[in-house]
Amino acid sequence: MRRAIDWGAVEDARPAVVTAARTWTWGALRALAATQTARHADCRGRRVGVVLPATGAAVALLSALDDLAADVFLIAADTDDGAAAALGRALGLAAVLRPADDDAFAPIAGVDGDLALAGGGDGAVTILTSGTTGAPKAARHGWATLARPVRRGGGAGTWLLSYRPHLYAGLQVLLQALVPGGTLVVPGRDAHEVARLAAAHGVQFASATPSWWRWLLLFAEPAELARLELRQITLGGEAVDQEILDRLAARFPGTRLVHIYATTELGRCFSVTDGRAGFPRRFLDAPSTDGVELAVRDGELFVRSANAMRAYDPRSAPSSASPGADGFVPTGDLVSVAGDRCLFIGRAAELLNVGGNKVQPLAVEQVVLGVPGVADVRVYGKRSSLVGQLVACDVVLAAGAARETALAAITARCVERLQPHERPRFLQVVPRIELTAAGKKTRNGADPGPSRP
């Protein structure tokens, strides 16, 4: 990270990282980075895990480890010591560092520091794509590659971080804010606090999943949202449908809407700015200026990307999606091509099997979202001894919507628009749709765990 950011070009007093509790200036980050470089000198050239909160101290530590040419493995901030130690042992890490106080990190016990296992010496950054114990898939990048998609021409700006920083999307927002010398604003998990903090610090750019944006629009006060002066809203991590694009355009008129397609393994692949769901068919015709090529094969999107990871770490779990002989990688995203547009229709892994008929939860969600009074929806499968799975649907109603009227309208619309096997057999109203740690909704019936944001 130190090599990706021109640390000396920003004035000391400018805010670098802002949370509800504290602000770290660029001057403070520089001093912290120097202190942590000296404190963790024994990590030079080693494989080191970092339990990574979204703080200025964590940014300074990443800079210090880059200066020490350490290979860094990023671990979720809520990982407990036992799970972090097990992860460290499985991946052969020399140490796992976690916050000891507001500005210091210290190694946790139980990693058994394998100092004989050196890193690559080039400051690799490894993102863990699944699991918190054992040997998860570990995608190896470098700071230069991660920072490659950063747009540097627009000057320093103020960005809102909705993603967790150990994820690819979180790193992209962090780098987009800090590489040009800007400010990163980190809110909590309360919608009112998000809007208040973003307005108070003049956030200009905000990036999140479509599910996160629906959550914010639903639970933040309209008056608080009206105070935001966003220049750009970015959506990614999930299929972006027309309904959320239209809702954001209505709430934030004049704000540029961008939806991005990226994966941990392939990096940033492309962005769309025309306000329409999907992407132009012409993207399939030639490589982009960023060195990304797209293809649709048997209804699935394949990508060959210059922004891709270096490789999976040799100590991690193998991947089921590897490049073919031509270098194209299957993404698992299903796409339909119609006229001049390619539309995402869901994930192959999320398909439900209802009596031998395939049902795409995303398609059902889009039908239900078209019902007046419906603010959010999650479609997933429930086990059935007779037909394998049945379609289930959780619905969040807009303020003032009558429950029975809305449920009757949903049922009528599903009868009108969906085949019998696609129609929800379980329909319930819930106060909110719970999101995963990545800000996404689960559509396969699995419990997403504690609500995030």
Residue-by-residue DSSP string for 339-364: TTEEEEEEEGGG-EEETTEEE-HHHH
Distances 46 to 95, 117, 134, 242 between C-alpha atoms, Å = 9, 7, 20, 47
87 domain-assigned = yes
155 domain-assigned = no
Q: Tell me how long the chain is.
A: 453
167 domain-assigned = no
- What is the distance between the alpha carbons of residues 65 and 275, in angstroms, rounded to a whole number? 40
pLDDT at position 121 is: 63
With a pLDDT cut of 90, the percent of the chain lying above it is: 72
Give yes or no: residues 99 and 222 share one domain: no
Give yes or no: residues 398 and 367 share one domain: yes
- pLDDT bucket at 452, cuts 50 / 70 / 90: very low
Give yes or no: residues 299 and 405 share one domain: no
Higher pLDDT, residue 425 or 112: 425
What are the φ and ψ backbone dihedral angles of 323, each rounded to 5 degrees? -65, 145
Give yes or no: residues 355 and 259 share one domain: no
Q: Which residues pair with 53 in a beta bridge?
A: none
pLDDT at position 2 is: 63
Which residue type is seen at 240?
A: V
Give yes or no: residues 230 and 316 share one domain: yes
Q: Are 448 and 436 in contact (CB under 8 A)?
A: yes
| pLDDT at position 131 over 50 | no
Q: Is 193 helix (H, G, I), strand (E, B) or coil?
A: helix
Window from 124-138, 309-323, 350-364, 420-434 with minimum mean pLDDT: 124-138
pLDDT at position 153 is: 64
Residue carrying the six token digits 């909704």: 441
Q: Nearest Cα to 72, choosing from 40, 102, 104, 103? A: 40
Give 3-state DSSP helix, strand, coil % of the chain, rounded to 5: 30, 30, 40
Where a domain ends, among 146, 175, 209?
A: 146
Give yes or no: residues 241 and 141 share one domain: no
**For 347-384, what is each residue's pLDDT tens digit?**
998 999 999 999 999 999 999 999 999 999 999 999 98
* Range of the structural domain that residue 421 is part of: 351-429
182 domain-assigned = no
Longest dimension (CA), the chain: 67
Mean pLDDT for the stretch of residues 33-59: 94
Give yes or no: residues 126 and 193 share one domain: no
- What is the distance between the alpha carbons of residues 284 and 295, in angstroms, rounded to a whole number? 6
Mean pLDDT for the stretch of residues 129-155: 73
Higher pLDDT, residue 10 or 255: 255
**Exposure string over 332-370, b if 16+ CB within 10 A, otherwise e:** ebbbeeeeeebbbebbeebbbebeeeebbbbebbbbbbe
With a pLDDT cut of 70, the percent of the chain lying above it is: 90
Give yes or no: residues 261 and 197 share one domain: yes
Q: Nearest Cα to 172, choosing from 113, 109, 260? A: 260
Where a domain ends, among 146, 164, 198?
A: 146
- What is the distance between the alpha carbons of residues 344 and 352, in angstroms, rounded to a whole number? 17
Give yes or no: residues 361 and 272 share one domain: no
Higher pLDDT, residue 179 or 117: 179
CATH number of the domain bearing residue 71: 3.40.50.980
Q: Are 228 and 216 in contact (CB under 8 A)?
A: no
Window from 80-84, 117-121, 169-173, 418-422 with minimum mean pLDDT: 117-121
Give yes or no: residues 84 and 222 share one domain: no
Give yes or no: residues 319 and 272 share one domain: yes
- What's the domain count of the chain? 3
**What tokens does 81 get?**
């010591």
- pLDDT bucket at 388, cuts 50 / 70 / 90: confident
Q: Are 104 and 57 in contact (CB under 8 A)?
A: yes
- pLDDT bucket at 447, cuts 50 / 70 / 90: very low
pLDDT at position 150 is: 83
pLDDT at position 119 is: 63
pLDDT at position 132 is: 36
pLDDT at position 9 is: 73
Considering the chain, what is the average pLDDT of its residues? 89
**What tokens does 96 get?**
């796992």
**For 57-96, what is each residue's pLDDT tens digit?**
999 999 999 999 999 999 999 999 999 999 998 888 999 9
Q: For strand 71-76 and strand 300-305, is the pairing parallel, antiparallel, or unpaired?
A: unpaired
Beta strands in 240-373 (DSSP E): 256-263, 267-272, 279-280, 292-297, 300-305, 311-312, 329-338, 341-347, 352-354, 357-359
Give yes or no: residues 57 and 117 share one domain: yes
Q: How many CB atoms lie within 10 A of CB 92?
A: 17
Q: Nearest Cα to 359, choosing from 331, 390, 338? A: 390
Mean pLDDT for the stretch of residues 11-20: 93
418 domain-assigned = yes
Most confident stretch, 5-9, 13-17, 131-135: 13-17
**For 187-200, what is each residue's pLDDT tens digit?**
988 999 999 999 99
- What is the distance between the alpha carbons of residues 353 and 368, in angstroms, rounded to a whole number? 20
| CA torsion angle 63 21 195 53 (round to 10) | 40
Higher pLDDT, residue 310 or 228: 228
Q: How many CA atoms lie within 13 A of 297 on its CB side?
A: 10
pLDDT at position 189 is: 87
Residue-by-residue DSSP string for 378-391: EEEEEEETTTEEEE
Mean pLDDT for the stretch of residues 116-121: 60
pLDDT at position 449 is: 38
195 domain-assigned = yes
H or E segment to which residue 64 belongs: helix 56-67
What are the φ and ψ backbone dihedral angles of 140, each rounded to 5 degrees? -95, 120
**For 275-301, what is each residue's pLDDT tens digit?**
999 999 999 999 998 899 999 999 999
| pLDDT at position 443 over 80 | no
Q: Is 172 exposed, middle or buried (0-12, 13-18, 19+ CB in 10 A)?
A: buried
Q: For strand 292-297 and strand 357-359, is the pairing parallel, antiparallel, or unpaired?
A: unpaired
Where a domain ends, among 346, 379, 412?
A: 346
- pLDDT bucket at 222, cuts 50 / 70 / 90: very high
441 domain-assigned = no
Mean pLDDT for the stretch of residues 402-408: 95
CATH number of the domain bearing residue 323: 3.40.50.12780
26 domain-assigned = yes
Q: Which residues pair with 333 in a beta bridge?
A: 347
CATH number of the domain bearing residue 419: 3.30.300.30
Q: Are 186 and 17 in contact (CB under 8 A)?
A: yes
What is the distance, to the nearest Å, from the Cα of residue 397 to the centroid of all Cα atoms in its chain?
26
Q: Is 324 exposed, middle or buried (0-12, 13-18, 19+ CB in 10 A)?
A: exposed
